[in-house]
Structure 1
Amino acid sequence: MSRDASQLTSLPPEILGQIVSLLPKFSASSLRRTSRDLVSIATPAVFRSIRLQATGDDPERFMQIAESEKLRGFVREVTCDPWIGSHFRYRSGWHYEIPSSFFDALAFLSCFRQLNALHLRFPPECGDDSFPEESSDFRYRILHTVFNSLAGSWSRESQQKVDAGLNMEEVYKYEMKKYPVGISQGPIVLKCITISNLEARLESRLVGSDASKTILGSERLTDLRLLIARQTRGAYSEPMATGHDFFESIPYTWLSSPVAANLRVLSLHSHAPWGWYPKMDFRLVGCGMPNLRVLALRNFIFSHEWQIEWFGSRGLEELYLDTCAILAHALGVELDHGTSAVRQANGEEVIVSHEGYYANPSSGRPVETFVGTLRWHRLFSHWTDSMTNLRVFKMGSTRWDYPAPVDGSGYAGNPYTQMIWATRSHGVIWNDFRYFDCPSPEISGQDVFRFRTGMSESAEAGLEYAYYTENEWMDCDTYINGTEYEREMVEDDDSADFLEPRREGGGWEMDDGNRGRDEAALDIFRSSVEVRWKEVSREN
């Protein structure tokens, strides 16, 4: 044993355990091999978080850990990712071979009885069944196996029955070679679930199952983070379904009352705008999320007056608005004039109006124009008084589909090194919906892949207003620099007088002084939050 190792082992085990838990995994693994005395201290840190990818011998290693009585008890966090490696390009027309060993390994989740957190990762490409690797059945197959394994309801026979009903030719060729035997002891209750690139598709087979209700409805599940992928078709990723049914169903599925009642952390990020179109009405979450303390939204479109009070009365302690906007104007749309009855936690039934939302499905009524009255300064002025528990607020935009920049890494221009870059960076892309509170450090060197670029809070990154016309979203810049057709649609509309388009400092404003009022209200709101954060910090 080296002198340094001897000095380490002289520390009390509790302190040494705390030190090792803060080390990167590769450092803890090296420490584990340093001396026999450090094995018992370093092993829990090495196996606390493990990853199952469909690459190389990852699935086999995962199953070995699951079958090891000595190691599986240390596992608290698992990431499952069907990525087969940087050699394969989605939408390339290349043959995709179903990762059979990955499918086998998924069922071994039932072995990790101490599991607290599960992270599921999918590619952003989805919705085109002509590509087996992104078909709805492929994703459902993974989600079904995961939820049933965790719920204790998985069996080889039931899996084979599900596989036989999938519309995937490649699954017919798949033969289960390995599966857990005699492990299940009832449901594994999780504290945190995250899903990257969840397809915006109402998957009744999944959300209506007893297994998903068991896992999502657990009282211990307090942290739910979803990144929702937009469905596209073809090699050029042309948008197809907008996910109306999926988003409208969220209050009854992913945020049903048994789920939402226990949540303390909720992150809902989407590749495309949502909230108004497709509609997701937070008022329809029957329990009202009474325990929610942290809320993170990306691409959410505020549109209605009720949202000022609803968000302001949640008792939030942290709020993150990433690339969010307020709907200013919508042209040529069919608007909803219906209502819904919502039963709240106290049993009282409340009628909720859908007035002013995009109608789904279309009923053939004449198209209308939506003119928004909501403004950022009104929203922040109210929140300054109502969000009395808020101590962290961030508003801006994040580069979420690419790793943090590397200075002098030498990856550009070389196919081989670019493949290395893709392999090393894969684990950190599409993760901002999980790490929304990450700062923006100045970083360089090999540790770059351990960090993410945080949200930019520059003046240009917030206080946005959105415009919708002809199935397209526009911002003010698009209105200025867009096509003649796009500009004429706004300028020729009689109800667009409030826009009063004029150039002021290179930009456009909806009305006199609106930008100034927005910025002033935001400054006051941020100042009040900062004061509260300092007070809480002093108390702690």
Structure 2
Amino acid sequence: MGWLSHPLEELDIYNYQNATPLSEELVDQITGVVKNLSSLRMAVVHELIPASPEGEILVDLDGLHFPQLEFLSLGRFSFVKDEQLVWILGHSSTLEELYLDDCSIIFHAKFCTDEYEPEKCGISQSKLKNTGHELATHFYYTYQSRWHDYFTAIQEGLPRLRRFKIGESIEWAEDYTIPLEGEERLVPGLMDDRYNAFDGGLGPCQFITQQDFQDMKEDEGGPAYEGVEWPGCNEADRDALKELYRSIGQWVDCGHINLESSRHVEDLLQVESYRGPVRIRT
């Protein structure tokens, strides 16, 4: 990497695919280039499926560390295991700004062997449930952590944090445009799709809504869905988020967001109708 005239301090990555550097040699090479990074933006999309630019099921950056990182912005990341959060918290001595743009927690996932080998999905096989299928073997996974767990962990684990935002940029709904340096345009709020389920057997989009999940649960049933419910923790998530904002002394603008689906945010939660702007000090 001798072609760099000076150490790399800022890096923006868009259209990042579900690729995890597994080789120690590759990790060492990447670390050598980015060891001086103070700012990292990363947005995940499906490159070959324009109709579904959501985050892949897992982007695992374990093994990569940026000792100078102060600014981190993640777009459409899918959180599916605690190690991803631990990776963020691993920058506690430097990280001052954290932005989560249209990111989601995948609380339940189904992998199909014709698309995903179980050892390649980035999740320990001991946590996967195996069920027989006439066409393929399906592996199911359930993730227990919720956003209020994340907010509490961020509050306690990032002592230098002074700026935090979670929400959605309007650009995501405009011809699937990836927001470029759009942190200030990120509308703060806890959108309904901050939780998703994943079905590797569907297409073109594998991320499913609450109603689709209920239908799938009723159709397939079985032990893989036993005790699994769509997260119903709006109040817990909002309370933990407000407490995080209070701890860093950040003002929150509870304005509204109007996308193609006419979604609105009120008091940090998505609502069906908008009753006017509210500014709160948390």
TM-score normalised according to structure 1 size? 0.37
How far does residue 519 in structure 1 lie from its aligned partner after superposition?
1.6
Matches of 1:402 and 1:299, distance apart in 2: 13
Three-state SS of the structure 2 residue aligned to 1:400 is: helix
AA matched with 2:118: D
Q: For 1:50-77, what per-residue CA distance to the aligned partner results, in whole angstroms no more than 9, with x for missing partners?
A: xxxxxxxxxxxxxxxxxxxxxxxxxxxx
Residue from 214, 217, 234 that aligns with 2:2: 214
In structure 2, relative to structure 1, the CA distance for the partners of 1:225 and 1:490 (3 Å cut) is: same
Matches of 1:298 and 1:336, distance apart in 2: 26
Residue from 176, 198, 206 that aligns with 1:468: 198
TM-score normalised according to structure 2 size? 0.67
Residue equivalent to 2:112: 333
Larger Rg: 1
How do residues 131-170 of structure 1 correspond to structure 2 at under 5 angstroms? none
Three-state SS of the structure 1 residue aligned to 2:171 is: coil
Residue from 20, 23, 33 that aligns with 1:248: 20
Matches of 1:323 and 1:297, distance apart in 2: 9
How far does residue 466 in structure 1 lie from its aligned partner after superposition?
1.3
AA matched with 2:215: E
Residue from 237, 242, 251 that aligns with 1:518: 237
Contact 1:297 1:321 in 2 (8 A): yes
In structure 2, relative to structure 1, the CA distance for the partners of 1:497 and 1:523 (3 Å cut) is: farther
Contact 1:299 1:325 in 2 (8 A): yes
In structure 2, relative to structure 1, the CA distance for the partners of 1:517 and 1:524 (3 Å cut) is: same
Three-state SS of the structure 1 residue aligned to 2:166 is: strand
Residue equivalent to 2:34: 260
**Structure with higher strand content:** 2
Matches of 2:250 and 2:75, distance apart in 1: 26
Aligned residues: 224
How do residues 425-504 of structure 1 correspond to structure 2 at under 5 angstroms? 430=177, 432-433=179-180, 435-438=181-184, 454-460=185-191, 464-469=194-199, 470-471=201-202, 472-475=205-208, 478-480=209-211, 482=212, 487-491=214-218, 492-494=220-222, 495-500=224-229
Residue from 54, 57, 62 that aligns with 1:273: 54
Contact 2:196 2:210 in 1 (8 A): no
AA matched with 2:75: R
How far does residue 253 in structure 1 lie from its aligned partner after superposition?
7.5
How far does residue 380 in structure 1 lie from its aligned partner after superposition?
1.2
In structure 2, relative to structure 1, the CA distance for the partners of 1:402 and 1:467 (3 Å cut) is: closer
How far does residue 307 in structure 1 lie from its aligned partner after superposition?
2.6
In structure 2, relative to structure 1, the CA distance for the partners of 1:333 and 1:515 (3 Å cut) is: farther
How far does residue 290 in structure 1 lie from its aligned partner after superposition?
1.0
How do residues 395-434 of structure 1 correspond to structure 2 at under 5 angstroms? 395-400=166-171, 430=177, 432-433=179-180
Contact 2:27 2:63 in 1 (8 A): no
Matches of 2:28 and 2:106, distance apart in 1: 25
Three-state SS of the structure 1 residue aligned to 2:91 is: coil
Contact 1:466 1:473 in 2 (8 A): no
Contact 1:326 1:376 in 2 (8 A): yes
Identity percentage of aligned residues: 21
Q: For 1:284-311, what per-residue CA distance to the aligned partner results, in whole angstroms no more than 9, with x for missing partners?
A: 32xx111111111111001112233321
Matches of 2:148 and 2:217, distance apart in 1: 24
Q: For 1:223-256, what per-residue CA distance to the aligned partner results, in whole angstroms no more than 9, with x for missing partners?
A: 0001117xxxxxxxxxxxxx55xx2249838981
**Structure with higher helix content:** 1
Q: Which has the higher contact order (CA 8 A, sep 6+)?
A: 2
Three-state SS of the structure 2 residue aligned to 1:256 is: helix
Residue from 152, 163, 182 that aligns with 1:381: 152
Contact 2:147 2:237 in 1 (8 A): yes
Contact 2:20 2:61 in 1 (8 A): no
Q: For 1:405-462, what per-residue CA distance to the aligned partner results, in whole angstroms no more than 9, with x for missing partners?
A: xxxxxxxxxxxxxxxxxxxxxxxx95623x2332xxxxxxxxxxxxxxx111134377
How far does residue 327 in structure 1 lie from its aligned partner after superposition?
0.8
Matches of 1:215 and 1:514, distance apart in 2: 50
Matches of 1:456 and 1:519, distance apart in 2: 15
AA matched with 2:7: R
AA matched with 2:210: Y
Instruction: Give the root-mean-square deviation of aligned CA atoms.
Output: 3.5
Residue equivalent to 1:23: none
How far does residue 382 in structure 1 lie from its aligned partner after superposition?
1.5
